[in-house]
């Protein structure tokens, strides 16, 4: 079977200790925040960090706290804990729906929010063993020159596969990054680059320590995910929406984000522009779906055909918006999630 | 001896190895750890087709901790499962034939070290033109992937004609001409292949391996290592699934045996998931054309079936697979005339072989979907159509297969009744539909893999004064429950409890030969052998006991752990006391039993594939909901009925039915052994698209719909206690029943497997554009099939021989010169 390469495991007890360790040799260090993706990748030699810093004992990063203004989730909070937190179900349903569809319940017991937000981009030419990648002459993302997804592409087209990010973008969340050099806070969409290799704006010595979700009364949100199997699969498409309606049923604020259609999650700004001050009519929904459709650029590097995945953008955006409008489409959701039983 | 009702057989029980499996106590091959054990890793070819120019292992050999590096030159003898396809080397000798073909082996202190050493081996290749598809294989006879086979890159091409299809078509009111394709897919057992080899203190070699066929592995190891078979011991470990993927002898097994001989230390290998995709031997991708003649009332007059199989890089079971694509079309519905032409080509991909339903799954899909089309065209209910044409019990088919019992009509009626078919078919609202399909499968192959006159299965019993009965048999427990069948069969005949029988199986040193766990043969063949051995043991015990009790032997009953006269049970004794009396009279007590299938009626060349002691039958109805916007499928429910003859342990029987449905549904919906060929200007790569258990999509238990199973029990005199096979047959109707249900739901024909949402949307788009609402292959290529063997049918007075065999073989000899 595949074996892990040798590495040094560092287990800091405090955040400052973790940051100090990270500052020593950030380019050869990976953060072990669950490791459910990192460790299999290391077995396949996609990543070969010499040092791993485990966040297991850094208690500051394991807290989920609520204040009047916001929900604060530590970077190392397990996905299962988010899924189980009543406040998330009540006020950030899109996040709950996204998180509960990540991997399997066993993996969610180990995987963390920070890990999912920083999840390595994925590609059928890259998520392969070392011998397989050797057989194709490697690729741009690791040890090669060509992006096999589109051989003339100047950049790596590996796809952003985080479910949590589009949900948190719709929820207007911010992330806190800390390093020994200081702290900064970014809106979630600013965390990402549209580049399969340099997909994060986070610097190697920075740690994603916290996610902050503003509490907005009456906010309705939803996350719809396309994947082959209901049991577990990375997203082939993620659609997250969050909408605030006023007392007359007009849209006060609307945010829509797409996942798994490019190297970064995409905020569909058109959605906000079109919907604010409007009723959520079928026509409005269709126009937003068209805008989202034109932004999505799925590639031939994942399961199912790219034309099918692109076509599904319209369908899932419509479903998500209809759901937050209050339509009863639980049966559609159930069917798409493909719990056949 | 007096007859009595069955006590153990037919009752739902926990299997004998069940507790150990669920509690994690079962020791699989990878759980074995021996003192001083070394680890092996294989270097595999990165090129799809290339000549090996040179291999330099010096740097790997020099790495501290590396004990041995092997290359093809160390193991030059070929092997392969079929005598006609001895085309594999344990490590490639002069060329590599697919990405993943093993080239060298490192044996080292740790697995990690072995892997690091692989990178230090320098292999120089000279690339050869890649043959990626059957079309390319037919078009390009050079370069040849192998220097044997029928011609060019055609491995095997066969043709046979039973009766006159021309006359059959002339008598038909309608002729249906359809092409279908079936994607390749793999077994995906949870346990990857693993093995440990070690030298015994007496210098004999032992290998523990997760194999379904210890006997064939035994033969191959002895052959390649040039050892007398008596000095090689193969032990089949309990398995985490095989499904046909562990029925070949494999490179890694031979390599670690050699390494154990050279180093004198135990050597272990455990393949990665990716490597299992390269071992493969899975479902052949098959393109097929079916021309079927039908009368207005649904009576079939003729079938002409053509198949083209993408065999991958080696022979494996491929010759048998090719014949199997044409063997079982005749055993479900009466066919007065039949012609079959099949062709398997070599391509530079992992070798295909037997997967659950071996070779019969693909044409069954075509046949059952075509019957649905016939029913629609003739305005008949597809269930009714099938009932009209079901073959009769005891029939000898056009291709000389002997039917024994056939419960197919009962199966059809069962699923029709339980599913509410009459109220649903063509009556459900748009988007919802039901489909029906049927199938049949062998209860064991009638012929062994290598020609011989010996028994196919042997069972040996040892009884002694402890009261324990030990049953020895070479059968491999691969999860299907063969240990339970052995135990229950012996216990039933001797009237003892399950706990009083111990089984020792799958060990070539200890247990008599059983050919292995393939072709659904074990329950029938081992079961019959076990019954014979147990009946002999009963007689052995009964004689002295009857004498002691002063009653005639015929009056003795063996039941509930006791032996007693039927008329006076209280005068009897415990089974243990009975054995003590017998042991005193006979000395050491032991018996044997064996089983050999009846001689096939088919005497023509190729007629060895298809005959079976008896056939199982299955029918299934699937209800489906299709979302016309997304093409997404939801399976409401599956009703299935299986003609099992008799369920020896209904718990396991139902498990096999449901497991088959599960595997069939995965194939139907998503599984595909797909490959990527990179732009040829930039790269010569031809790689498995996603050799991982995450990205090779297969169902999980969470995706399983509700299954409603009924077992149809009509004991078959050929089977042990009347039992027939269940491990494979119930898989076959799932794919066509789903395709037929989709047609009922949205009017779209998907004539290929897998059936994906993309294809459904494409079919719906065709429908909307006024084009034929069909997704499937556009045509069938010209394949150079040979002149068919002409075999007159039984009703033409045929005797099972071909009338032109001698002429044909003369032609062939001329061609080879």
* pLDDT band for position B386 (cuts 50, 70, 90): very high
| B299–A contact, CB cutoff 8 A | no
| CB < 8 Å from A in window 711-770 of B | 756-758, 761
CATH number at residue B760: 3.30.365.10
The tens-digit pLDDT sequence of chain A (341 residues) is: 899 999 999 999 999 999 999 999 999 999 999 999 999 999 999 999 999 999 999 999 999 999 999 999 999 999 999 999 999 999 999 999 999 999 999 999 999 999 999 999 999 999 999 999 999 999 999 999 999 999 999 999 999 999 999 999 999 999 999 999 999 999 999 999 999 999 999 999 999 999 999 999 899 999 999 999 989 999 999 999 999 999 998 999 999 999 999 999 999 998 888 999 999 999 999 999 999 999 999 999 999 999 999 999 999 999 999 999 999 999 889 888 765 43
What are the two backbone dihedrals, phi and then psi, of residue B188, each rounded to the nearest 5 degrees?
55, 50
Residue B632 lies in a domain: yes
| B700–A contact, CB cutoff 8 A | yes
Residue of A36, A43, A131 to mutate when probing chain B, most B C-beta within 10 A: A131
In terms of Cβ atoms closer than 10 Å to its own Cβ (0-12, 13-18, 19+), residue B225 is: middle
CB-closest option in A127, A231, A340 to B635: A340
Chain A nearest CA to B684, separation (Å): 8
Judge: B703–A134 Cβ closer than 8 Å, yes or no: no
In this structure, the answer to whether residues B644 and B679 fall within a common structural domain is: yes
Q: Quick one: average pLDDT of B187-200?
A: 97
Please report how the helices B522-549 and B575-586 are oriented relative to each other, as an axis angle in degrees rounded to 10: 80
- CB contacts of A5 in chain B (<8 Å) are 112
CB-closest option in A137, A229, A304 to B685: A137
Judge: A6–B670 Cβ closer than 8 Å, yes or no: no
In this structure, the answer to whether residues B377 and B434 fall within a common structural domain is: yes
Task: Inform me whether the pLDDT recorded for B91 exceeds 70.
Answer: yes
In this structure, the answer to whether residues B575 and B620 fall within a common structural domain is: no
Chain B nearest CA to A324, separation (Å): 20
Chain B nearest CA to A118, separation (Å): 20
Residue A123 lies in a domain: no
As a whole number, the mean pLDDT across chain B is 96
Residue A3 lies in a domain: no
* Cβ proximity of A76 and A11 under 8 Å: no
Q: What is the ipTM of this complex?
A: 0.96
Task: Inform me whether the pLDDT recorded for B289 exceeds 80.
Answer: yes
In this structure, the answer to whether residues A42 and A168 fall within a common structural domain is: no
Judge: B632–A1 Cβ closer than 8 Å, yes or no: no
Count of A-B CB contacts under 8 Å: 104
Q: Which domain holds residue B717?
A: 157-185+282-446+604-775
Distances (CA, A) of B237 to B22, B38, B190, B220: 16, 19, 15, 18
- Give residues with Cβ within 8 angstroms of B753, minimum separation 6: B181, B182, B183, B365, B667, B668, B735, B739
CB-closest option in B111, B271, B685 to A136: B685
Nearest to B329 by CA among B185, B165, B174: B165
| B238–A contact, CB cutoff 8 A | no
Q: Which domain holds residue A76?
A: 59-118+159-337
Judge: A308–B758 Cβ closer than 8 Å, yes or no: yes
In this structure, the answer to whether residues A324 and A187 fall within a common structural domain is: yes
In this structure, the answer to whether residues A12 and A114 fall within a common structural domain is: no
- CB contacts of B630 in chain A (<8 Å) are 312, 315, 336
| B683–A contact, CB cutoff 8 A | yes
In this structure, the answer to whether residues B170 and B199 fall within a common structural domain is: no
Residue B135 lies in a domain: no
Task: Write out pLDDT tens, residues B33-59.
Answer: 999 999 999 999 999 999 999 999 999
Distance CA A319, CA B41 (A): 50
In terms of Cβ atoms closer than 10 Å to its own Cβ (0-12, 13-18, 19+), residue B472 is: buried
| B109–A contact, CB cutoff 8 A | no
Judge: A1–B271 Cβ closer than 8 Å, yes or no: yes
CB-closest option in B272, B697, B703 to A340: B703
Task: Write out pLDDT tens, residues B370-381.
Answer: 999 999 999 999
| A6–B contact, CB cutoff 8 A | yes
CA B41 to chain centre: 28
DSSP A24-45: HSGGGEEEESS-TTHHHHHHTT
Task: Inform me whether the pLDDT recorded for B577 exceeds 50.
Answer: yes
Distance CA B269, CA A48 (A): 24
Nearest to B96 by CA among B804, B717, B689, B684: B684
In this structure, the answer to whether residues B174 and B269 fall within a common structural domain is: no
* Cβ proximity of B582 and B624 under 8 Å: no
Residue identified by tokens 């809106």 is: A187
Report the sign of the C-alpha dihedral through residues B138, B141, B146, B148, in that order: positive
Distance CA A232, CA B701 (A): 11
Distance CA A261, CA B565 (A): 79
Chain B nearest CA to A227, separation (Å): 11
Distance CA B320, CA B704 (A): 32
Two tokens, residue B596: 């050999």
* Cβ proximity of B282 and B185 under 8 Å: yes
| B82–A contact, CB cutoff 8 A | no
Distance CA A316, CA B300 (A): 47
Q: What is the reported pLDDT for B34?
A: 98
| B685–A contact, CB cutoff 8 A | yes
In this structure, the answer to whether residues B273 and B218 fall within a common structural domain is: yes
In this structure, the answer to whether residues B363 and B274 fall within a common structural domain is: no
A70-74 β-sheet, strand order: A64-66, A70-74, A207-214, A174-179, A182-187
- CB contacts of B697 in chain A (<8 Å) are 228-229, 233, 303
| CB < 8 Å from B in window 307-336 of A | 307-308, 311-312, 315, 332, 335-336
CA angle centred on B643, ends B638 and B649, rounded to 5°: 90
In this structure, the answer to whether residues A22 and A96 fall within a common structural domain is: no
Q: What is the reported pLDDT for B569?
A: 94
More confident residue, B135 or B2: B135
In this structure, the answer to whether residues B396 and B516 fall within a common structural domain is: no
* Cβ proximity of B389 and B300 under 8 Å: yes
Two tokens, residue B573: 């004794």
- In chain A, whose CA is at the least distance from the CA of B111? A3
| A229–B contact, CB cutoff 8 A | yes
| B395–A contact, CB cutoff 8 A | no
Residue B422's CB is within 10 A of a number of other CB atoms, namely 11
CATH number at residue A36: 3.30.43.10
pTM of the model: 0.97
CA angle centred on B560, ends B559 and B566, rounded to 5°: 35
* pLDDT band for position B805 (cuts 50, 70, 90): confident
Cis geometry, peptide bond prior to residue B723 (ω within 30 degrees of 0): no
Task: Inform me whether the pLDDT recorded for B318 exceeds 60.
Answer: yes
Residue B802 lies in a domain: no
| B129–A contact, CB cutoff 8 A | no
Residue of A102, A135, A332, A334 to mutate when probing chain B, most B C-beta within 10 A: A135
| A106–B contact, CB cutoff 8 A | no
| B630–A contact, CB cutoff 8 A | yes
Q: What is the reported pLDDT for B560?
A: 95
Q: What is the reported pLDDT for B811?
A: 55
DSSP A214-245: E--TTEEEEEEEE-S-SSS---SEEEEEEEEE
Task: Write out pLDDT tens, residues B211-221.
Answer: 999 999 999 99
In this structure, the answer to whether residues A34 and A172 fall within a common structural domain is: no
Distance CA B75, CA B80 (A): 14
What are the two backbone dihedrals, phi and then psi, of residue A185, each rounded to the nearest 5 degrees?
-125, 135
* Cβ proximity of B261 and B240 under 8 Å: no
Structural domains of chain B, count: 3
- In chain A, whose CA is at the least distance from the CA of B675? A124
Residue B13 lies in a domain: no
Query: In terms of C-beta distances under 8 Å and separation of at least 24 residues, what long-range contacts does A136-139 make, across chains too?
Result: A136/B676, A136/B678, A136/B683, A136/B685, A136/B687, A137/B683, A137/B685
In terms of Cβ atoms closer than 10 Å to its own Cβ (0-12, 13-18, 19+), residue B650 is: middle
In this structure, the answer to whether residues B485 and B578 fall within a common structural domain is: yes
Two tokens, residue B192: 């990857």
| CB < 8 Å from A in window 156-195 of B | 192
Distance CA B99, CA B675 (A): 11
Task: Inform me whether the pLDDT recorded for B75 exceeds 60.
Answer: yes
Q: What is the reported pLDDT for B808?
A: 61
- In chain A, whose CA is at the least distance from the CA of B690? A124
Cis geometry, peptide bond prior to residue B143 (ω within 30 degrees of 0): yes
Judge: A124–B695 Cβ closer than 8 Å, yes or no: yes
In this structure, the answer to whether residues B275 and B286 fall within a common structural domain is: no
In this structure, the answer to whether residues B511 and B385 fall within a common structural domain is: no
Judge: B679–A151 Cβ closer than 8 Å, yes or no: yes
- CB contacts of A124 in chain B (<8 Å) are 676, 689-690, 695
In this structure, the answer to whether residues A27 and A71 fall within a common structural domain is: no
- Stated as kind and residue range, the H or E segment containing B233 is strand B232-236
Four-CA torsion A5, A9, A15, A19, nearest 10 degrees: -60
Task: Inform me whether the pLDDT recorded for B814 exceeds 80.
Answer: no
CATH number at residue A188: 3.30.390.50
Q: What is the reported pLDDT for A337?
A: 76
In this structure, the answer to whether residues A257 and A220 fall within a common structural domain is: yes
Residue A153 lies in a domain: no
Structural domains of chain A, count: 2
Chain B nearest CA to A177, separation (Å): 32
In this structure, the answer to whether residues A90 and A51 fall within a common structural domain is: no
| A151–B contact, CB cutoff 8 A | yes
In this structure, the answer to whether residues B763 and B634 fall within a common structural domain is: yes
Task: Inform me whether the pLDDT recorded for B419 exceeds 60.
Answer: yes
Chain A nearest CA to B576, separation (Å): 48
Q: What is the reported pLDDT for A1?
A: 83
Residue B12 lies in a domain: no
């Amino acid at each position: 079977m595949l074996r892990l390469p040798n590495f040094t495991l560092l287990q800091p007890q405090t955040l400052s200790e973790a940051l100090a360790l990270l500052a020593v040799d950030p380019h050869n260090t990976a953060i072990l925040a669950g490791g459910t993706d990192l460790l299999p990748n290391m077995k396949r030699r996609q990543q070969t960090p010499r040092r791993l810093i485990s966040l297991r004992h850094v208690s500051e990063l394991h807290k989920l706290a609520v204040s009047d203004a916001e929900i604060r989730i530590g970077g190392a909070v397990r996905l299962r804990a988010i899924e189980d937190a009543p406040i998330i179900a009540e006020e950030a349903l899109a996040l709950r729906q996204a998180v509960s569809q990540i991997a399997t319940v066993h993996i969610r017991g180990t995987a963390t929010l920070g890990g999912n937000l920083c999840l390595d981009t994925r590609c059928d030419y890259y998520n392969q063993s070392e011998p397989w990648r050797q057989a194709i002459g490697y690729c741009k993302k690791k040890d090669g020159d060509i992006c096999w997804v589109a051989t003339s592409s100047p950049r790596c087209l590996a796809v952003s596969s985080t479910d949590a990010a589009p949900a948190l973008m719709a929820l207007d969340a911010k992330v806190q990054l800390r390093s020994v050099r200081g702290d900064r806070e970014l809106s979630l969409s600013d965390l990402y680059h549209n580049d399969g290799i340099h997909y994060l704006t986070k610097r190697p010595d920075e740690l994603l320590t916290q996610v902050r979700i503003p509490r907005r009364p009456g906010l309705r949100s939803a996350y719809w995910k396309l994947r082959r199997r209901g049991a577990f699969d990375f997203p082939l498409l993620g659609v997250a929406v969050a909408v605030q309606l006023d007392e007359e049923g007009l849209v006060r604020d609307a945010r829509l984000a797409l996942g798994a259609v490019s190297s970064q999650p995409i905020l569909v700004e058109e959605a906000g522009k079109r919907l604010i001050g409007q009723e959520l009519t079928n026509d409005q929904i269709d126009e937003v779906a068209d805008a989202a459709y034109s932004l999505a650029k799925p590639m031939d590097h994942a399961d199912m055909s790219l034309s099918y995945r692109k076509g599904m953008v319209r369908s899932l955006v419509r479903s998500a918006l209809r759901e937050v409008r209050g339509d009863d489409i639980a049966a559609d959701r159930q069917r798409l999630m493909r719990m056949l039983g | 001896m007096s007859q009595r009702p069955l006590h153990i057989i037919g009752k739902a029980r926990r299997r004998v190895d069940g507790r150990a499996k669920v509690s994690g106590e079962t020791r699989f091959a990878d759980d074995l750890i021996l003192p001083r054990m070394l680890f092996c890793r294989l270097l595999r070819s990165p090129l799809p087709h290339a000549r090996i120019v040179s291999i330099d292992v010096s740097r790997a050999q020099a790495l501290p901790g590396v004990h041995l590096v092997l290359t093809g030159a160390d193991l030059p003898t070929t092997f392969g499962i079929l005598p006609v396809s001895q085309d594999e080397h344990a490590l490639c000798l002069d060329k590599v034939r697919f990405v993943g073909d093993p080239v060298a082996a490192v044996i080292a202190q740790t697995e990690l070290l072995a892997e690091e050493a692989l990178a230090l081996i320098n292999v120089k290749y000279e690339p050869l033109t890649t043959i990626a598809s059957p079309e390319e294989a037919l078009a390009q006879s050079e370069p040849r992937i192998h220097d044997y086979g029928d011609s060019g890159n055609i491995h095997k091409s066969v043709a046979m004609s039973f009766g006159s299809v021309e006359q059959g078509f002339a008598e038909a009111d309608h002729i249906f001409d359809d092409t279908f394709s079936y994607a390749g897919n793999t077994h995906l057992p949870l346990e990857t292949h693993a093995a440990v080899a070690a030298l015994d203190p007496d210098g004999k070699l032992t290998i523990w391996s997760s194999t379904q066929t210890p006997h064939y592995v035994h033969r191959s190891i002895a052959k390649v290592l040039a050892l007398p078979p008596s000095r090689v011991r193969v032990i089949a470990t309990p398995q985490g699934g095989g499904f046909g993927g562990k029925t070949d002898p494999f490179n890694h097994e031979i390599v670690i045996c050699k390494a154990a001989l050279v180093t004198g230390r135990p050597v272990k290998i455990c393949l990665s998931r990716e490597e299992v995709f390269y071992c493969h031997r899975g479902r052949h991708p098959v393109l097929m054309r079916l021309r079927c003649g039908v009368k207005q009332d649904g009576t079939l007059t003729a079938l002409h079936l053509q198949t083209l199989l993408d065999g991958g890089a080696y022979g494996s079971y491929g010759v048998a697979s090719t014949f199997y694509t044409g063997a079982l079309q005749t055993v479900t519905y009466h066919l007065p005339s039949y012609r079959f032409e099949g062709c398997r080509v070599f391509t530079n991909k992992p070798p295909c072989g037997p997967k659950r339903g071996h070779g019969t799954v693909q044409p069954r899909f075509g046949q059952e979907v075509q019957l649905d089309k016939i029913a629609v065209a003739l305005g008949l209910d597809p269930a009714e159509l099938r009932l009209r044409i079901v073959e009769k019990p005891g029939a000898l088919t056009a291709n000389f297969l002997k039917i024994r019992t056939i419960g197919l009509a009962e199966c059809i009626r069962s699923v029709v009744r339980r599913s509410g078919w009459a109220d649903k078919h063509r009556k459900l609202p748009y988007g919802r539909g039901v489909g029906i399909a049927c199938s049949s499968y062998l209860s064991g192959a009638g012929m062994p893999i290598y020609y011989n006159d010996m028994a196919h299965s042997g069972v040996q019993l040892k009884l002694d004064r402890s009261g324990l009965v030990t049953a020895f048999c070479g059968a491999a427990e691969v999860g299907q429950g063969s240990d339970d069948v052995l135990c229950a069969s012996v216990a039933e005949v001797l009237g003892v409890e399950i706990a009083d029988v111990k089984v020792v199986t799958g060990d070539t040193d200890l247990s008599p030969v059983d050919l292995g766990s393939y072709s659904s043969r074990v329950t029938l063949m081992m079961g019959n052998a076990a019954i014979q051995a147990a009946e002999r043991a009963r007689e052995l015990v009964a004689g002295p006991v009857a004498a002691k009790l002063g009653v005639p032997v015929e009056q003795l009953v063996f039941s509930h752990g006791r032996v007693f006269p039927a008329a006076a049970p209280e005068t009897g004794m415990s089974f243990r006391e009975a054995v003590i009396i017998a042991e005193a009279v006979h000395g050491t007590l032991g018996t044997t039993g064996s089983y050999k299938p009846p001689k096939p009626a088919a005497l023509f060349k190729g007629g060895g594939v298809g005959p079976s002691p008896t056939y199982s039958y299955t029918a299934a109805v699937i209800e489906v909901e299709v979302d016309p916007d997304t093409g997404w499928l939801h399976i409401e429910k599956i009703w299935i009925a299986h003609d099992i003859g008799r369920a020896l342990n209904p718990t396991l029987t139902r498990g096999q039915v449901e497991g088959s449905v599960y595997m069939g549904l995965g194939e139907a919906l998503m599984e595909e052994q797909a490959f990527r060929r990179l732009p040829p200007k930039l790269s010569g790569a031809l790689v498995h698209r996603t050799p991982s258990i995450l990205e090779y999509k297969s169902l999980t238990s969470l995706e399983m719909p509700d299954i409603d199973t009924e077992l149809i029990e009509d004991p078959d005199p050929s089977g042990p206690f009347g039992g027939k096979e269940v491990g494979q047959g119930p898989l076959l109707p799932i794919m066509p029943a789903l395709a037929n249900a989709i047609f009922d739901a949205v009017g779209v024909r998907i004539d290929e497997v897998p059936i994906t949402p993309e294809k459904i949307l494409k079919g719906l788009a065709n429908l909307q554009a006024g084009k034929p609402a069909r997704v499937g292959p556009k045509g069938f290529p010209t394949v150079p099939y040979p002149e068919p063997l002409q075999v007159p049918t039984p009703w033409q007075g045929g005797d099972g021989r071909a009338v032109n065999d001698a002429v044909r073989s003369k032609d062939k000899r001329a061609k080879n010169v």
